[in-house]
Amino acid sequence: MNPEYKEIFDQRGGSYHAAMKSFPQARRAEFEALFSKNPCRSGDVIVDVPAGGAYLLDHLPHDIRYFPREITPGFSEDATLVEWDGDWNAPPADHVVTCAAAHHFDDHASVIDRALGALRPGGVLHLADVDLASPVGGFLDGFVGVHTPTGHDGNFLPAKGDAFYQNFDIPRHETVRVPWTFRSLDDAGKFCIGLFGLQIDDGAMVIDALREHGIDVFETSDSTVIDWRLTYIDIINT
């Protein structure tokens, strides 16, 4: 694990949390895509770690058992805090979700091993994160890094086909369009400033930067869309 990143979210988790609470539907597609190939079923146990402020909950069916676990106290005083290597205090899971977090860890193999260890046999780890060489990775390490006091230097997961994955049972490994949606360009800019903890107050700067990094931002008749993409990797606990 990279302790610096833990410190980063101790500092900017509150701003991230406020952005997620102000725009709770913005990342809906990102959360729904987690389960598109290996869906959750009635009564399933889902452990979401690190969960931030448990944002996934709003996008899950009501009849599942949801256990959000967070590493840093920075997001919300309501979060259930755990050590990554410690006891997660949850029953054996049908699904473990690690969303938008793997690039914050130094050692991906131990992250995956720990998460697989929390699953029942046959359970699924859903890893969703930014692709190594994608425009999103360039935007985070570039613009976000420059405009946050803590910087951004992602340790992105290896690319599909890398030998790193050869000993895992991976029924799904794909990069998916998961558009972030807003009512207006202004809202899109505000969300990004809050989520990434940017030290700027001009939302138009973020929109320009997204486009410069090759991430489309466009308006439809009723919404504004940031063309976000993540890579989704499902790994079975064999």
Ligand X SMILES: C[S@@+](CC[C@H](N)C(=O)[O-])C[C@H]1O[C@@H](n2cnc3c(N)ncnc32)[C@H](O)[C@@H]1O
189: exposed, middle or buried (Cβ count in 10 Å: 0-12, 13-18, 19+): buried
Residue 104 near ligand X by CB under 6 A: yes
Minimum Å gap between C-beta 26 and ligand X is: 11
Contact assessment for residue 2 and residue 110, using Cβ atoms and an 8 Å cutoff: no
Please report which helix (H) or strand (E) contains residue 152, including its range.
none
Residues 31-60, one symbol each (x = binds ligand X by CB under 6 A, - = not), give: -------------------xxx--x-----
Residue 100 near ligand X by CB under 6 A: yes
Residues 6-25, one symbol each (x = binds ligand X by CB under 6 A, - = not), give: x--x----------------
Residue 179 near ligand X by CB under 6 A: no
Query: Which residues of 2-150 form beta strands (DSSP E)?
Result: 45-48, 65-68, 93-99, 119-129
Q: Compare residues 21 and 219 and give the one whose CB is closer to ligand X.
A: 21
Q: Give the one residue of 12, 40, 60, 72 binding ligand X; rule: CB under 6 A.
A: 72
SS3 187: helix
List CB contacts of 196: < 8 A, sequence separation 6 or more.
12, 16, 140, 144, 147, 148, 152
- Contact footprint for ligand X (CB under 6 A): 1-3, 5-6, 9, 50-52, 55, 70-72, 84, 99-101, 104-105
